[in-house]
Every structure is written in C-alpha cells, then in structure tokens.
Structure 1
Amino acid sequence: MIIGHERLTDIVTRMIQGAGSDRAEAEAVAVNLVQANLMGHDSHGVGLAPRYMKHARAGTMNLGARPTVVSDNGVYLLLDGNMGYGQTVCREATEMAIARAKEKGAAIVGLRRTHHMGRIGAWGEMCARAGLISIHYVNTTGHRPYVAPWGGYEARYSTNPYCTAIPATDKNPMIVLDMATSRVAQGKVRVAYYAGKKTPSDALIGPDGVPTDDPKVIFEEPYGAMLSFGQHKGYGLAMICEILAAGITGGGTARDELMDQETICNNMLMIVIDPAGFGADIPFRDEIDRLVEHVSSSKPAQGFDKVRFPGDPERETTAERTANGIWIDDNTWGEMRRAGLEVGMSEADFAG
C-alpha cells in the first residue's frame, strides 16, 4: 500500500506506545523509522516496529532507558546504553559527543549495549548539522549471525555498519556515507523476502555454499548467509567494526554466547571532529566545493543521468516520497497490523 508519512508516523507511534513506551519515546522511535523509509532505506524503516515491540514486551530491551557514563577522560567518553531504544539513547549520546567536540575540538565516544540504533546516518547527520565531521563503527549481537566471512559460507557476524558524515558548505549539502559492510543490509533482504523478490546475485550464499539470489535462505532453515561487499574488503572493514565498536568499548564482539538472546544489541565507536581543529587557515569548505564540482563534471555512464555524491539519493527519495507517499509491501503491512492489534489498536487504524 501507499501511505503518507504523517499517518504512518502516527500509526507507528501508537504501536510503540502499545508495547509500553511513553508518548515521547514512542514518537522518537516512529519518527526515526519513518525517516528511514522516506529516505529510501526501507530496511531500517517501519518494518522493524513489530520486532521492536516483541523485544519490548519480552523484556529483552529496556523501555525508558538512558545512557549512563562508564568512564570520562578528556576527549574520551564511554557510555552504556542500558539496552534502551537506540533512537533515544543514540540521540542523547550524540548530543553529548557534539558538546564535547565543540569544547575540546574532538570527541571519541564509545556507546555500548544499546538496542537497535536504527539508521546510523541519522546520528552522523546530527553531527554534520552542528558543523562537525563524524565517523561511526558499529557491530551487532543479540541474534543469530547473518554474514559469512570472506572465504567461508557459514554466518559468523552481522552487517556491521560504517558511516562518515561531512558538514554542508554554502554551495553543497552535507555528504553522508552510511553503509552496511555486507553486500546489502539485512533489512533489504527482509524487504525482498516479504515482497517476493530476488536479491543481487552476489549478495547471498546458500547452506550448500553455493551463491544464490533467493532471500529465503536468511529466513528459512536450513540457513545460508549474507556476503560482504567488495569480497575481502567488506569483510576486512566488518572486522574493524567489530574490534572498534565492541572490542575497545567492552560491548562484546560476535561471540556465540552473545548471538542468541532474542534481541538486537548494538555497540558503536563514534569519533567526532571539529574541522577547524587544524587551523582556521585551511580552506576545508572550499576544498569540498571544488571536489564536488570536479567529480560531478564527469559525463554520466550508460544507465545514469548524473554523478551523485553520498547523500544525494536519500535527498531525492525523500522529496519524492514526501510528495507521493511511502510504499509498504503487503507482508510488512500485515505484520505491522497483527502487532498493532495485539496491543489494542483497531482494524480501522490499518485500513487502506
């Protein structure tokens, strides 16, 4: 179905409230999920709401939790998310990181034991809007692994996102690279599975070790696995995310005993930098503008209308979906409807 973002936000807010959150927390979660849909990242959108609700009702995440300080040492700040909603915990942690970077010129912030952080680009964008550069490394535990290491075909870890965000200039919008280290995000495989579509031919491997484009190998036994982007390169970056997000923060890497707890646990290392730190005489913003102009002047290849920078596709999709609505596949909508009815919502709430 096609649904407007404002109605969708209201529906998801009520769903999350029904699972026990107060209005403010529920709305923060809903706004974050719907924004992901608006930007074209349906993998991190409202299809996650039923899973969140299941964890909230089962007690495998903590409603109303806020980050607490584990250690504080100059530019270093280590926080524990206390398994609260990533949408609220990450916002508060990012606000703390921004304040510290503005005071000290940089901030190195570890955030461990947080329920699903959502689209990591949201936290990078917060930093960029504050005029700061940010780099994010993330790992995931709490559920069975999905991604196989390079050279293997049994899953051992998760999709381990990486993100860097660069502030806007007077001529160009912010640049945001936000990506899974797997060939596609796990949620995109879920979207394909629910929509009855295939995945890219180099994204998955079956339980027999043979590449496949059938997403059911991730959701139906016998399980296969997802593959890294760029072969050994994506695998290498995924291991860096494990070490920096979870090893250095004490959050826990993808060990067997942490991977089957019926929840989603994210750990993140966030490095926030004031671009003026090396001196005001460095023409950082002008250099960005010159780079964008030079790279964008390349003639578009067959099948492309122009060269885009990281963040451009999301801005274009947001404009289109804000105007025309967000498409939700029938299986995802049905799952949301069932979850909503379980917490007291009505059939009319989900009527097309």
Structure 2
Amino acid sequence: MTDAPTKTLSLEEVKALAKSVLVSAGMDERGSEILADLVMRSERDGPRSHGLRMLPVYAQSFESNYANPTANPTVKRIAPGVLRGDGDNGYYQIVGVEARDELIGMARENGIASFTCANCHHLGALRFDTEPLAQAGLVSLGVVNSLSMVVPQGGLRPVFGTNPMSFACPREGAEPVVWDQASSVAALMDVRMAAAEGHDLPRPSGLDTSGQPTTDPNAILETRSLLPFGEHKGAAIAFLIEVLGAALAGGTLSADNQERESFGALNIKGGATLIAIDPSRFGNPAFNVYVTRICAEIDGNGTARVPGDGRLKNRATAETNGVVVASDLLAQLQSL
C-alpha cells in the first residue's frame, strides 16, 4: 500500500483556502473570517477532522439554503447573569464572538454568567468557544447538542447527538487548560476521516448493520449509530447536554431531524449554552495555586498529561512546519 500524495501548507495558506471556500459558498466577510480562523486553528491544534475536512459541510449548509451565510445575529440580556442569543439561522461562532465581551463583563460583575443561543448551527471544535474566556481569567463550560447518532446504552436507535462539551480554566504562567470531547466514543468527523483515509478506528465506536460494535468506519456511517463513551455514563452525559443545550436554549432536539433531512444537512439547528465563572469572586484567593498543584500532580506522572495539553505540542509544530494536507482533499476544496 502506497502513501497517498500530500502537500504542506502554512497556517496562513490554510486560512486563505478556508476563507475562499466559504466566500464561494456565499458567506459574508464577517462570518467567513471567523469560521476560516477556526478551521485554521483546528488544523493547527487538532483534531484536524474539525479543520479543512469540515469545509464541504459548511458549504453544503449554505448552498442548500439550510444555514444563513449572511446571518445578522442578536444578543439580549434577559437576567442579571443570562444572555440570550438568536443566531439568525447562521453559525453559533459568529454570535458567540458578538456576545463574548458582555458575557465576560457579566461574569466579573456577578461571579457567574451564562450565554445561551438558539436558531443557530454549530460545527467544529467547541474549545474555541471556551478558550477565550479562560484567556480572560474565567473558568468556562460550553455544551451544544447535535443530530441524533448516539444510541443510549441498551437502546435500539439513536436518541442523542455526539453532544460535545468543553471546559477551560486559566493556568498561571502558562496557556489555559482547555479540553473538549464528544459524548460518543468518536466524533462523527473522526469516523468520516477514517473512512476517507481507509483505516479502521482504534476502538469499537459504533454499530454495524447486525447491531454489533465495530471499528469499521464505513459500517458505522451506514447505520449512523455511534456508541456513547463509557456505556451508560456517556449516555448520561449526552442527556445532560441535551438539557443544557437544546432545552435551555430552545434549540432543536437531537432526535428531531425532519428539517435537517429535507436539506440533506449534516447537523441540526441545536442549542448551545456557555457558562462563565470568575474564580476571584468565589472566595478562594488561592484558586491559581490549586490549579497549578492539580496540573503538577499530573505532569510527570507516568505518561499522563493535563487534559487538552496535546494540542500545545501540535500547535508549536504546525506554527513552525505548517500542516500536511492530503492532495485529494485539496483538489476537492479547490473545486468547491
């Protein structure tokens, strides 16, 4: 088996390519700049399944008229600690940027604040919603529900989305601690990327046509049935995110896919919630010392690492050397 041909791109070239695809699909200047930057950051930090390979999905959502490429979202403060957004059927990340400064100010004022948004789409890594808050000195938790693909433990059909969550907190003298993960064993785009690259997944991540767990990404894509991580524990987390995401925001439930299916889309208009906490208002002046100590107990502890820190090594390498992109993917993107 020969290696597939590749090309190395600088991060600037990745962002320029992403923006050109988004603009060609009809996206406006503001939105395309935000999403192109997130695509570049995903290629830089990983997982790269949320980077350039996500662009055809973005383009399809615009070209099918499922998502609004020129969204004009609104944000309204509805309680002392609550912001509510309407994404104007655009992407959450655009309204998230618009709400960020006010959310940070509310958290510093009240000690804790939240932003919830409906009538929006969310694709890509969730950590880019939480990391800016940690860079501002806040602890943050973000959740979003997605289209039903995850079978609850013991169930026969998907109920939940991959329903990701992200956590971030400041770390004195270093980059913030930031992690995100799906409620499923594997994210959908990781399954798609494994299928595109012609290899199995590292562990059983979904069901095949006979209802058995499998590592074959093509079989999982055929059934569209993913497994929750940790069996019933992951299913419980997916339930939590369905409530915090869809129910609080008033977004589409993961199981309600009718509109998505009519457009052939790969996501739903779910709900997103972002919670920001100011540790300086919680009464423990040694908060930073605690975080430093927790991280120190992990570092050097065998091969353990602080959650999310793998991205920092990826980032340093990509900033120096660029990223390697499959030539067939480049050809696909250049044809869009």
TM exceeds 0.5?
Answer: yes
The correspondence for 1:313, drawn from 310, 321, 336, is: 310
Partner of 1:333: 330
The 1:259/1:147 distance shift into structure 2, 3 A limit, reads farther
Partner of 2:3: none
C-alpha distance in 2, partners of 1:95/1:77? 11
Once the two structures are TM-superposed, the CA of residue 7 in structure 1 deviates from its matched residue by 1.0
Once the two structures are TM-superposed, the CA of residue 261 in structure 1 deviates from its matched residue by 4.3
Partner of 2:293: 290
CA contact (8 A) 2:253 2:270 kept: no
Once the two structures are TM-superposed, the CA of residue 23 in structure 1 deviates from its matched residue by 3.0
Once the two structures are TM-superposed, the CA of residue 126 in structure 1 deviates from its matched residue by 0.6
Identify the range of structure 1 (174-183 vs 306-315) with the bigger mean alpha-carbon deviation: 306-315
Output one character per residue of 1:27-54: Cα deviation in whole Å (capped at 9) or x when no partner. Answer: 2211111111111211211111112112
The correspondence of residues 121-132 of structure 1 with structure 2, limited to 5 A, is: 121-132=127-138
State whether structure 2 residue 54 is matched by structure 1 residue 48.
yes
Partner of 2:167: 164
CA contact (8 A) 2:145 2:164 kept: yes
Identity %, equivalent residues: 29
Query: TM-score, normalising length from structure 1?
Result: 0.87
Displaced runs of 4+ in structure 1, greater than 4 A?
A: none
C-alpha distance in 1, partners of 2:246/2:76? 14
C-alpha distance in 2, partners of 1:82/1:248? 18
Once the two structures are TM-superposed, the CA of residue 316 in structure 1 deviates from its matched residue by 0.4
Partner of 2:87: 81
Identify the range of structure 1 (26-35 vs 328-337) with the bigger mean alpha-carbon deviation: 328-337
Two-structure CA RMSD over aligned residues (Å): 1.9
The correspondence for 1:100, drawn from 94, 98, 106, is: 106
Structure 1: tracts of 5 or more residues without a match: 301-305, 340-352
CA contact (8 A) 2:183 2:234 kept: yes
The correspondence of residues 250-329 of structure 1 with structure 2, limited to 5 A, is: 250-256=250-256, 257=258, 259-262=260-263, 263=265, 264=267, 265-279=269-283, 282-298=285-301, 300=302, 306-329=303-326
Partner of 2:64: 58
CA contact (8 A) 1:33 1:46 kept: yes
Output one character per residue of 1:260-293: Cα deviation in whole Å (capped at 9) or x when no partner. Answer: 24343231111111001123x5300011112222
CA contact (8 A) 1:194 1:331 kept: no
C-alpha distance in 2, partners of 1:261/1:89? 25
State whether structure 2 residue 204 is matched by structure 1 residue 207.
no
Partner of 2:153: 150
SS of residue matched to 1:28? helix
SS of residue matched to 1:27? helix
CA contact (8 A) 1:114 1:267 kept: yes
Aligned-partner residue type, residue 192 of structure 1: A
CA contact (8 A) 2:252 2:270 kept: no
The correspondence for 2:28, drawn from 22, 46, 63, is: 22
SS of residue matched to 2:271? strand
SS of residue matched to 1:323? helix
SS of residue matched to 1:174? strand
Partner of 1:226: 226
How many residues align structurally?
Answer: 326
C-alpha distance in 2, partners of 1:68/1:23? 18
Aligned-partner residue type, residue 66 of structure 1: N
Partner of 2:116: 110
CA contact (8 A) 2:122 2:144 kept: no
CA contact (8 A) 1:16 1:53 kept: yes
Identify the range of structure 1 (198-207 vs 119-128) with the bigger mean alpha-carbon deviation: 198-207
Aligned-partner residue type, residue 320 of structure 1: T
Query: TM-score, normalising length from structure 2?
Result: 0.91
The 1:329/1:147 distance shift into structure 2, 3 A limit, reads farther
CA contact (8 A) 1:195 1:329 kept: no
Once the two structures are TM-superposed, the CA of residue 71 in structure 1 deviates from its matched residue by 5.9
CA contact (8 A) 2:42 2:51 kept: yes
Identify the range of structure 1 (318-327 vs 46-55) with the bigger mean alpha-carbon deviation: 318-327
